C-alpha cells in the first residue's frame, strides 16, 4: 500500500467519538479508552477460536526497544 492511501485511510478511521472522553483526572480514566471496545471484540473472538493446552510455553527473549511506552511491562 502506498503512503498516500494509508494516510487517507488513517485520516478517517476512528473507533469512538471524542465527546465520550472521560476526564483524565478521574480515577477510572483508561489511557486506551478510544480502542477499548475493539480490544473487547478481539478478546471475545480470539478466545472463541483459541484453546490453550496443558503444555504451554513462553519465550523469554527480551528485545531491545528504544522508544517511549507509557504502559507497564511485566516480564515473567
pLDDT in tens, 38-71: 888 998 998 888 777 777 777 777 777 777 777 6
**31-60: string of b/e by CB count within 10 Å (b at 16+)?**
eeeeeeeeeeeeeeeeeeeeeeeeeeeeee
- 56 to 42, 45, 59, 62: CA distances (angstroms): 21, 20, 10, 19
Tell me how far apart the alpha carbons of residues 28 and 22 are, in angstroms, rounded to a whole number. 8
State the cell numbers at 34. 478510544
pLDDT in tens, 2-37: 888 888 888 888 777 777 777 888 888 877 888 888
Amino acid at each position: 500500500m502506498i503512503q498516500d492511501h494509508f494516510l487517507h485511510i488513517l485520516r478517517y478511521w476512528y473507533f469512538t467519538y471524542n465527546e465520550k472522553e472521560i476526564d483524565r483526572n478521574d480515577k477510572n480514566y483508561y489511557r486506551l479508552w478510544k480502542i477499548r471496545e475493539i480490544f473487547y471484540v478481539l478478546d471475545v473472538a480470539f478466545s472463541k477460536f483459541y484453546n490453550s493446552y496443558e503444555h504451554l510455553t513462553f519465550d523469554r527473549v527480551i528485545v531491545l526497544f528504544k522508544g517511549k511506552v507509557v504502559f507497564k511491562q511485566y516480564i515473567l
